[in-house]
Amino acid sequence: MNRHHDPAVRGFASDNASGIHPAVLEAIATANDGHVSAYGADPYTQRLRERFGEMLGHDIEVHPVFNGTGANVVALQSMLPRWGAVIAADGAHINVDEGGAPERVGGIKLLTVPTGDGKLTPELIDREAWGWGNEHRAQPLVVSLTQSTELGTLYTPAEVRAIADHAHELGMRVHMDGARIANAAASLGVSLRALTRDAGVDVLSFGGTKNGAMLAEAIVVLDPAASDGLTYLRKLDMQLASKMRFVSAQLLALLEEDLWLRNARHANAMAARLRRRLDAGIEGGRLPGVVPTQPTQANAVFATLPAGVAGRVRERFSFYDWGPAPTGADAARREVRWVCSFDTRAEDVDALVDALVAATARDERVSRG
């Protein structure tokens, strides 16, 4: 097959844009010889369950799936009756980036709460945690947290614990969308268990795709009493892989020797480098009009840019506008997001900042006439 892309092109649009980590690609090849049983009755899926058990406790369930949306929808379906609802941040991936799948595929009502930093608190949850027994209202029965959040911010284990305790006291369960949980664990310097099971999370969507896998996520049930029917729901929602060994092999490659953490640490370090260089440029007057909008805690950096700068920088690097659509009421905010990946290089970061300096300098020359 001919190559149809330029491997020299680098970008900061998403950690989905990076390739497959070589160790993951090798794991797929290793799993490829011979015939093994399908639909998860294979030694790679069995070993994956054992590995998650070593990390989280052996009385758990592990269900590999294809993608993050599938993991979230199937997990939440298993936690809810038909009349149940999920409380989430208004910017959560399940609300703004999954094409309505929780509602249309899962039949799940989302009760969203505005947040400034992407994080829920017990007080914010209480805005929607009401109406139990009211037949006219979808019943709030699950709280869903995103770790790290869509704004690159992190919940500490203590914050997760406070939310979980509050939710459990109200009779609700806790789901965690962990598409970037590796970045959170690496940044906070804590174990996967400390961030999830020990903090009171009932069901976890564990992400691998954004961290070096090709397509590999897992639903991890930490409290079997919080979930029911996953064996059937995964098939019903088209997330049951017949050749599951290749999904499981990817996750095993990440988990066996803590590659998941090493990849995440590198991505976080590149984001921290980008933020340091932005801050230095702003302080030195070389990035006029560039204003960071969120703390850089994981592998994403957010900032607002002067008019026209994003378009010029995109001539070399891809990245996303953030927030309202360009025609929205807050279009003048001009917020963007840069995401670093396991394969982001220091020279990529430096080249991006140099491009920003050049683009903002052009604006300054034009404004001075």
pLDDT value at residue 362: 66
Please, which residues have CB within 8 angstroms of residue 29's CB and are 6 or more apart in sequence?
none
- Cα separation, 335 vs 163, in Å, equals 29
CA angle 341, 193, 139 (to 5 degrees): 95
Could you tell me the domains of the chain? 22-257 (3.40.640.10), 260-368 (3.90.1150.10)
Please report which confidence band the pLDDT of residue 366 belongs to, taking 50, 70 and 90 as the band edges: very low
pLDDT value at residue 298: 98
pLDDT value at residue 369: 47
pLDDT value at residue 234: 97
Residue 331 has pLDDT above 60, yes or no: no
- Cα separation, 167 vs 140, in Å, equals 10
Torsion 125-127-128-133 (CA) sign? positive
Residues 301, 312 contacting (CB under 8 angstroms): no
Residue 270: closest CA among 18, 7, 67: 18
Q: Tokens for 269?
A: 């370090």
Q: Convert the pLDDT of each residue in 121-162 to its tens digit.
A: 999 999 999 999 999 999 999 999 999 999 999 999 999 999
Q: Convert the pLDDT of each residue in 279-330 to its tens digit.
A: 999 999 999 999 999 999 999 999 999 999 999 999 999 999 996 544 444 4
Average pLDDT value for residue range 191-201:
98
Mean pLDDT rounded to a whole number for the chain = 95
- Residue 41 burial (CB count, 10 A): 11
